[in-house]
Chains A and B, each alone.
Chain A
Amino acid sequence: MNRIKKLFQEKKNILSIYYTAGYPNLGDTIQIAEALQKSGADLLEIGFPYSDPVADGPVIQASSKQALDQGMTLKVLFEQLKDLRKHVSIPVLLMGYVNPVLQFGVENFCKACAEVGVDGCIVPDLPIAEYEEFYQDCFEKHNLSNVFLITPQTAEERIHKIDGLTNSFIYLLSSSATTGKNLEVGNTTEAYFSRIKAMNLKNPTMIGFGISDKQTFDKACSYANGAIIGTAFVKALAGGNLEESISNFMKKFRD
C-alpha cells in the first residue's frame, strides 16, 4: 500500500507542512524534512521554486526567489533527494508550477520522483483536461498521486470529477486566495466545508491556505482529515537555528 493511503487510514488530524526547496539555504532540503518528521509532521510538501508563482502570496514568492538565486533547480532538487528514503519515512509530495516540469520532461520528472521515493505532486497550474490528456498515464505508470485543488467556487459536478481522478487526497482551499492570507472561518466558509463533508467523497480531504496556528488547525480538522501549513512555516524559517525554529514552530501544533 502506498504511503499516502496508509497515512490516511491510520491517522486523523493530519498535519502537512509545505516548504520551499533551497530556502533558507540551498542545501537545507533534507535537514528540514528530517526535522519536520521528528517534530510530528505527517506529510511533507516540498516546493520546487518558479520565477512566476501566480498562486502564491509575497512570503512564498520571496522564498522561491531566494531559492532560485541560490541555484535551486529540479535537477539539483532530485540530486538532494537521492537518499530521501534513508532519512524520511513519511509521505512526500513535490509542489510547483508546470513549466519547470515541462522543461525537465514529464516522463523524466515522473521517473525521478519514483526513483527517489516521492509519493505524489501538486501542480496548481496544471488543469484537469491537460492532466488527463498528457500527464495521467505517466503519473500512473510511476505510481505518483496527483493532488487537485478545489475552492468555494468549484462546482459540484467538477468536485465529483476531481474525486474520480484522485487516489490520495483532495486539497480543499479555504477560500479563493493566494497563499498566506489569514483564514477567517465565517458562516460562508463553514457552509462550504460542511457542504464538501456532506458530499461523502471517496477521497480524504486536507484544508489549506490560511492555516497558521493551533486554533485554525483544529478548526480545519473538524471538517477535514487534516490541514496544510505553508506560509506560516516558511516565515518561521527566516532566522536563527534551523532545527530550533522548526521544533518551536511544531510545538504549537503537536503538544
Chain B
Amino acid sequence: MKYKVNEKGYYGDFGGAYIPEMLYPNVEELRQNYLKIIADPDFQKEFHQLLKDYVGRPSPLYLAKRYSEKYGANIFLKREDLNHTGAHKINNTIGQILLAEKLGKKRIIAETGAGQHGVATATVCALRNLECVIYMGEVDIERQAPNVARMKMLGAKVVPASSGSKTLKDATNEAMRDWINNPVDTHYIIGSVVGPHPYPDMVAIFQSIISEETKKQLLEQTGSDQPDYVLACVGGGSNAMGMFYHFMDDEQVKLIAVEAAGKGVSSGFSAATTYLGKEGVLHGSRSILMQTADGQVVEPHSVSAGLDYPGIGPQHAHLFKTGRGQYVSITDDESLEAGLLCTKLEGIIPAIESAHALAYLEKMEFKGGENVVVCLSGRGDKDLDTYIKYFNL
C-alpha cells in the first residue's frame, strides 16, 4: 500500500485538495462517499456488467509476434483501443456516471482535450439520460472536428474554452468554473488521475481494471502474473495508472511511464513534465508541473492532444520521486514513426498517445525472453489527419 493515497489525500508529498471554498462541499461529498459507493455490491455488479456488455471487456492481452521477433522479448499489447469509443477513457466515465447517479446528480460536466474523454462522457450521459456539458479549448474544437460532431450527436453541449492557450488546461479551468457556479446538482467527471483528492484515487480505481485483467491474462498465457516491464504513456496519466495499479506493490515489475517530449525536451515545445517541471499546485492538487520561476503555468506542446498537459497526476509524481516508476520521454517524430511501425507490423493503427509508449521499446535493451506489457490505450482513427499530413499518405 505504500504507493496508495493516505487518509489525508496525499501520496507522499503530493496530492491534497487545493480548491476554493466554493468547491469544498462538492469535493467533500465525493470524498466521504466514493469508497463506500464503489464497494457496494450493487454498484460493483452494475459497473462490471456495463464494462462487459457495453464496453466489451475484458480487453484482450495480445502477444504481438512480429514486435516480439523484432525486439527479442515477448511484447504483449493490452488492447484498450478495442473498447467502445476507442480508448480506456470509458472505464472511468462508466464508473463516475454510476457514482453521480448514486449521489443524486442531474447534470454532468467534463473537460476534454482531443475529445476522447468528452466522447466517453457524452456516451455514458446518453446511456443514462443525463444532461451533459463538455468544455473544450477553442483550438482543440477546430482540430478535432469529428469528435465534436460525435459529442453533439450524443446530445452533449460543447462549450468552447476561449481563455489562455485555448486547449486542455483551459478547458479544465472552465469546467471547474462551471462547477463553482453550479454547486448542488452537478457532477464533474474529471478524465484523468488529476484534480483534488479524491479524484486521482477514484479515477485510478476505475482504470485499475486494466491491470487487474492483465494479471489474470498474463498468468494464463505465461504462467506468471509478473511481467518484467509495464509501459504506458502519460499525459495526466490515467491509462498509465490503470496499467500500473496492481503492479505497484510488485517491486520487481519495472514501471515505465512515457511522457511527450514534443519537439524535444529542450525545444520550448514539450510536455515532458518530469524533466521540465517542478513541484507545485495545479487544478486542485500538489504535483509536478511545468511552470515559470514565478509559479505561472507554462503552455505544453505535444503532437498528441491527449498528452498536451503541463502536469501529471499526484500519484505519478510520487512514483517518480520515489523512483518506483521510470519516467522517460518520446518526441513527436518518434511517436509518429512508432505509430506507423505498429500499423505495418501488427495491423493496428494506434492513437498517437499510445504510440509514445510503443516508441520507447526501440530504446530498451532486452536480454531475450522478457515479458513486456504495453498499454495500447487508444485507437488511431482520431489521428488519421495527423498521420496523413506527416507521412504524405
Residues of A within 8 A of B (CB): 50-55, 57-58, 61, 65, 68, 73-75, 97-104, 124-127, 129-130, 148-151, 153-155, 158, 173, 176-178, 181
Give B189 Cβ to nearest chain A Cβ, in Å: 17
Are B295 and A181 closer than 8 Å at their CB atoms?
no
Give B43 Cβ to nearest chain A Cβ, in Å: 26
Q: How distant is the Cα of A106 from the Cα of B8 in the complex, in angstroms?
A: 21
Q: Which residues of B contact A52 (CB under 8 A)?
A: 164, 169, 173, 282-283, 297
Neighbour of B21 across the interface among A51, A53, A75, A150, CB < 8 A: A150
Are B177 and A54 closer than 8 Å at their CB atoms?
yes
B24 within 8 A of A: yes
The listed residue with most B CB atoms (<10 A of its CB), out of A53, A54, A55, A177, is: A54
B296 within 8 A of A: yes
Neighbour of A61 across the interface among B163, B181, B293, CB < 8 A: B163
Contact A153 B295, CB 8 Å, known A127-B16, A127-B19, A173-B21? no
Are A99 and B22 closer than 8 Å at their CB atoms?
no
List 7 extra interface pairs beyond A100-B294, A176-B22, CB under 8 A: A51-B296, A54-B173, A73-B294, A74-B295, A100-B296, A127-B17, A150-B21
Are A102 and B297 closer than 8 Å at their CB atoms?
no
Q: How distant is the Cα of A50 from the Cα of B18 in the complex, in angstroms?
A: 15
Are A155 and B173 closer than 8 Å at their CB atoms?
no
Q: Which residues of A contact B180 (CB under 8 A)?
A: 54-55, 176-178
Q: How distant is the Cα of A158 from the Cα of B24 in the complex, in angstroms?
A: 11
Give B298 Cβ to nearest chain A Cβ, in Å: 8
Q: Which residues of B contact A155 (CB under 8 A)?
A: 25
Give B165 Cβ to nearest chain A Cβ, in Å: 10
Q: How distant is the Cα of A182 from the Cα of B291 in the complex, in angstroms?
A: 33
Q: Which residues of B contact A130 (CB under 8 A)?
A: 16, 18
Are B25 and A178 closer than 8 Å at their CB atoms?
no
B184 within 8 A of A: yes
Q: Which residues of A contact B169 (CB under 8 A)?
A: 52
The listed residue with most A CB atoms (<10 A of its CB), out of B8, B21, B163, is: B21
Give A7 Cβ to nearest chain B Cβ, in Å: 23
How many residues on chain B are close to A (CB under 8 Å)?
33
Q: How distant is the Cα of A151 from the Cα of B181 in the complex, in angstroms?
A: 11
B352 within 8 A of A: no
Q: Which residues of A contact B291 (CB under 8 A)?
A: 99, 103
Are B18 and A55 closer than 8 Å at their CB atoms?
no
Chain B minimum-CB-distance residue to A61: B163
Contact A124 B282, CB 8 Å, known A99-B295, A176-B183? no
Q: How distant is the Cα of A155 from the Cα of B25 in the complex, in angstroms?
A: 8
Are A103 and B280 closer than 8 Å at their CB atoms?
yes
Give B178 Cβ to nearest chain A Cβ, in Å: 9
B176 within 8 A of A: yes
Q: Which residues of B contact A125 (CB under 8 A)?
A: 18-20, 281, 284
Are B294 and A75 closer than 8 Å at their CB atoms?
yes
Q: Which residues of A contact B177 (CB under 8 A)?
A: 54-55, 57, 178
Are A74 and B294 closer than 8 Å at their CB atoms?
yes
Are B17 and A99 closer than 8 Å at their CB atoms?
no
Q: Which residues of A contact B22 (CB under 8 A)?
A: 55, 149, 151, 153, 173, 176-177
Chain A minimum-CB-distance residue to B22: A176
Q: Which residues of B contact A129 (CB under 8 A)?
A: 8, 16
Q: Which residues of A contact B297 (CB under 8 A)?
A: 51-52, 99
Q: How distant is the Cα of A57 from the Cα of B281 in the complex, in angstroms?
A: 20
18 contacts between A and B (CB under 8 A): A50-B295, A52-B164, A54-B177, A54-B180, A54-B283, A65-B164, A73-B293, A97-B281, A98-B18, A103-B280, A104-B294, A124-B20, A125-B19, A129-B8, A130-B16, A149-B20, A151-B21, A176-B183
Give B256 Cβ to nearest chain A Cβ, in Å: 29
Are B21 and A68 closer than 8 Å at their CB atoms?
no
Q: How distant is the Cα of A151 from the Cα of B184 in the complex, in angstroms?
A: 12
B105 within 8 A of A: no
Q: Which residues of B contact A65 (CB under 8 A)?
A: 163-164
Q: How distant is the Cα of A61 from the Cα of B17 in the complex, in angstroms?
A: 22
Give B29 Cβ to nearest chain A Cβ, in Å: 10
What per-residue 1/0 map shows which CB atoms of B115-147 lie under 8 Å from chain A? Answer: 000000000000000000000000000000000
